[in-house]
Amino acid sequence: MVSVSFLSRQSVIAALTANSLRPPRGQRAGVPSFAAGWLFGETAPQMLALTALDAAAHLTKGRRSGLRAKAGLALAGANALGLAHMVRQSRRAVGVLDDALVEGLGVDYVEQLDAAPDPADLATPWRSLARPFDFRDDAVRVIRNLPYSEAGRRGHLDIYLPAGDDAIKDAPVLLQVHGGAWSLGAKEHQGRPLMNRMAAKGWVCVAINYRLAPRNPWPAHIVDVKRAIAWVRENIADHGGDPDYLVITGGSAGGHLAALAALTPGDPQFQPGFEDADTSVQAAVPFYGVYDFAGSTGLANAIGMRDAFLGPRVIQTTWTDAPDVYEAASPILRITPDAPDFFVIHGELDSLVAVDQARLFVAELRRTSEKSVVYAELPGTQHAFDVFHSIRSAHAVRAVDRYLTWHWNTWRHGLEADSGVDPTEVDGAAS
């Protein structure tokens, strides 16, 4: 009976490993494939250790006899090989991300960093894997549930600040928009590793809730994001932030909202009652975002999402009846030469939002925008890979840190140069 349990466990791990290595594509398979592969794939090191321990426990003479026991051990060996390959893919992210930064910004981008990356910045973060869901950070303090709109708790935001420093001034600001298919999620549940890292370095980070479907149909979501941007512009100086410098980020639905907000500053249809508010941002960092609401790319993934989910649940009208609504909500159709700088990150094996959406979005940005465009496509990577601490998540957070530091330093030194101020005489935040 013990051997049967061992074989059953290894069979389950084999199925999960196969799904992580080669997730099925298609509208029907995408969601269950993601559900089965997301957590498993990012905890591959832990699963490899557990598989090895499980197999070792069955190598005793009494347990390794019999066909089922031998089949279980063989399967455990195959699982270990698959999991080891997944760990190697996770570790490759550091090179992929750095190559993307060099390609998008130039090899000399490191000269604008506070310090060049040292071996610790590029090393595999084994220690953080012991507690992947522990986001406590003594270097960060949080002000919770400040209202930015009249939508109750869906109109609240949190501010992450460096701990013990009540005198920060004119610090760069990062706005985090959570994902959750425009219909679930909360500000506390995503972006924590990135916000903790940046706040500890002197940034002011803002995480927002927003109204959700189906109770609140589109465009309530983007209206709230715009309202939060306006709130930040008007109020963040009271918390040490620079109201003139704001970067927006988010994952999945949050990636869509971050990209769309960045590309539509001042759009009156998304700013009812506050049309004159400044909702521009200096840069956007969308993770695994949805860029084609309208299906304009012809991608089966985009069209399927439009007709099976976005129409009935989020927008609550069909593409046939309101194509202009879908087109206005599609970041890929809102790109202009004035688009801000972008750092787009997507997983190669994303089974919820096909990587082709990101590829085509980046291609259009590079064709049209006059600003920098960085694109990192991470090998062997599913949707939502950065929600908790993992090898791949840590490398992505560190790369975004380098990007944000580069962007902030370039931006503020540009202002100083334009004003004739010697940069060496100016004390900047987060430096």
The residues annotated with a catalytic role in the active site are 252, 350, 383
Q: Please choose, from the candidates 343, 392, 397, 393, the residue with its C-alpha nearest in 3D space to the C-alpha of residue 117.
A: 397
Interhelix angle 2-21/44-57, nearest 10 degrees: 160
Distance, first Cα to last Cα, the chain: 61
> Tokens for 320?
């046939």
Q: Please choose, from the candidates 229, 420, 213, 248, the residue with its C-alpha nearest in 3D space to the C-alpha of residue 331.
A: 248
The helix (run of H) or strand (run of E) holding residue 378 is strand 373-378
DSSP state of 333: G
Q: 378 - beta bridge partners?
A: 347
Q: 156 - beta bridge partners?
A: 147
DSSP state of 307: I
372, 414 contact by CB (below 8 A): no
Angle ∠(348,350,353) on CA atoms, nearest 5: 120
Instruction: Write phi, then psi, for 276 (nearest 5 degrees).
Output: -90, 0
Residue type, 248: I
Give the distance, in angstroms, between the CA of residue 6 and the centroid of all CA atoms in the same chain.
36
What is the rounded distance in angstroms from the CA atom of residue 151 to the CA atom of residue 166?
A: 29
Count CB atoms within 10 A of the CB of residue 62: 9
Residue type, 147: P
Q: How far is CA 290 from CA 9, 237, 254, in A?
A: 36, 32, 9
> What 3-state class would DSSP assign to 375?
strand
> What 3-state class would DSSP assign to 162?
strand
User: Buried b vs exposed e over 219-228: b needs ≥16 C-beta within 10 Å?
Assistant: bbbbbbbbbb
105, 371 contact by CB (below 8 A): no
What is the rounded distance in angstroms from the CA atom of residue 37 to the CA atom of residue 39?
A: 6
